[in-house]
Amino acid sequence: MVATGLFITFEGVEGSGKTTQIEMLRKWLLAAGHSVLVTREPGGDPAAEAIRNIVLENDVAPRTELLLFLASRAQNVETVILPALTAGKIVICDRFIDSSVAYQGFARGIGRDTVAALNEFATGALYPDITFLLDIDPAIGLARQADRNRMEAESLTFHQTVRKGFLTEAENSSGRICVLNASGSFADIHFSIANRVLKILESRV
């Protein structure tokens, strides 16, 4: 079945403000009368949330880690994202394919192309209509985090490689990935995001 809704993803290093921006966008879209579904990765449905706990709370090998993120993604796409898109909803996902490329492909050293190919398998080649990459120096982002999970506890060098991975991916997919400076004010960042989404919605009428 062809998906008719709009698929928006948010990406960025730890503490880049994704959660705040997703909530601001969700409220803005609801106020404009749209039907919105917010989901996250790893996670989404009960099985994907169980995988989230495994991958974030256990010291697993890099390839195991990648496969767990992909398993969670396959489940989220199948049971949450695709049904909502098919129903015409606007779906906002907190992290998606680009996180696997940046964290596992670049920072864990598995390789960009291997991860991209496995992403395509896991999602059945579902790509976001638009991805907002909230870009910030990880030193600033990490300082904003109180509790740290296994990934967040990695070194600053690791997170700098993650950032580089995201930015490289954005250069290669400039039509889909919109890079925003996340050190600006929440209101300014939201304004840029809302404007971009509005343009896409208007172009579809």
Among 9, 82, 91, 95, binds ligand TYD (CB under 6 A): 95
Among 5, 6, 8, 14, binds ligand TYD (CB under 6 A): 14
Minimum distance from residue 16 beta carbon to ligand TYD (Å): 7
Residue keyed to tokens 């749209």 = 34
Minimum distance from residue 32 beta carbon to ligand TYD (Å): 26
CB 99 within 8 A of CB 72: no
Tokens representing 125 are 């080649």
When asked if residue 152 is in the footprint of ligand TYD (CB under 6 A), the reply is: yes
* Interactions with ligand TYD, residue window 162-201 (CB under 6 A): none
Minimum distance from residue 204 beta carbon to ligand TYD (Å): 27
State yes or no: cis peptide before 42, omega within 30 of 0.
yes
Q: What is the 3-state secondary structure (H, E, C) of 7-75?
A: EEEEEECCCCCHHHHHHHHHHHHHHCCCCEEEEECCCCCHHHHHHHHHHHHCCCCHHHHHHHHHHHHHH
Site string for ligand TYD, 15-54 (x = CB under 6 A): --------------------------xx------------
Q: How far apart are CA 119 and CA 175, in angstroms?
A: 19
Residue 40 neighbours by CB distance under 10 Å: 21
Minimum distance from residue 21 beta carbon to ligand TYD (Å): 12
Among 69, 106, 132, 166, binds ligand TYD (CB under 6 A): 69
Q: Which positions lie near ligand TYD, rule CB under 6 A? A: 14, 41-42, 56, 69, 94-95, 99-100, 103-104, 149, 151-152
